[in-house]
Structure 1
Amino acid sequence: MPRADFYLITTPRFREQPLRLVCELVRKAHAAGLPTLILARDDAQAEALDDLLWDMGEDAYIPHQIAGLDEDEDEADVLIAGPSADAPMRPLVINLRDAAVQGSFDRVLEVVPADESARGPLRERWKQYQARGLELKKYDM
Structure 2
Amino acid sequence: MADVTFCSLPDDNLVEFACQVAAHFYQLRQPVLITCQDKAQADAVDEALWVKEPASFVPHNLADEGPKSGSPVAIYWPEAPAPRGRAVLINLHEAIPHVAVQCAQIFEAVPNSEALKVAARTRFRSYQQQGAAPKHLSLADFLAQTH
**Comparing 78-87 and 130-139, the one that deviates more:** 130-139
Residue 60 of structure 1: which of 56, 61, 70 is its match?
A: 56
- In the alignment, structure 1 segments of 5+ residues that lack a partner are none
Of 22, 26, 46, 1:26 maps to 22
Whole-Å separation in 1 of the counterparts to 2:83 and 2:61: 14
Given the alignment of the two structures, is residue 36 of structure 1 paired with residue 32 of structure 2, yes or no?
yes
Shift in alpha-carbon separation, 1:135–1:74, aligned structure 2, 3 A: farther
Give CA-to-partner distance per residue, 1:83-130, whole Å, 9 cap, x none: 211213411001111111332210111112210232112111111111
Contact 1:27-1:62 at 8 Å conserved across structures: yes
Give 1:108's aligned residue: 106
Amino acid at match of 1:54: W
Distance change >3 Å, CA 16–CA 137, structure 1 → 2: closer
Q: After superposition, what is the alpha-carbon deviation per residue over 1:59-103, rounded to whole angstroms, capped at 9, x for unaligned? A: 012110001123x25330000012211213411001111111332
Q: Unpaired segments of 5 or more residues in structure 2?
A: 140-147
Distance 1:117 1:41 in 2: 15
Q: Which residue of 2 aligns with 1:94?
A: 90
Deviation string for 1:22-59 (max 9, x for gaps)?
11111101011110000011111111111110112120
State the number of aligned residues.
136
Task: Name the SS of the counterpart of 1:68 in structure 2.
Answer: coil
**What is the DSSP-based 3-state SS (H/G/I as helix, E as strand, rest coil) of the residue aligned with 1:118?**
helix
Q: Does residue 82 of the first structure (1) align with residue 80 of the second (2)?
A: no
Q: TM-score, normalised by structure 1?
A: 0.87
What TM-score comes out, normalization by structure 2 length? 0.84
Report the Cα distance in structure 2 between the residues aligned to 1:29 and 1:133, rounded to whole angstroms. 25
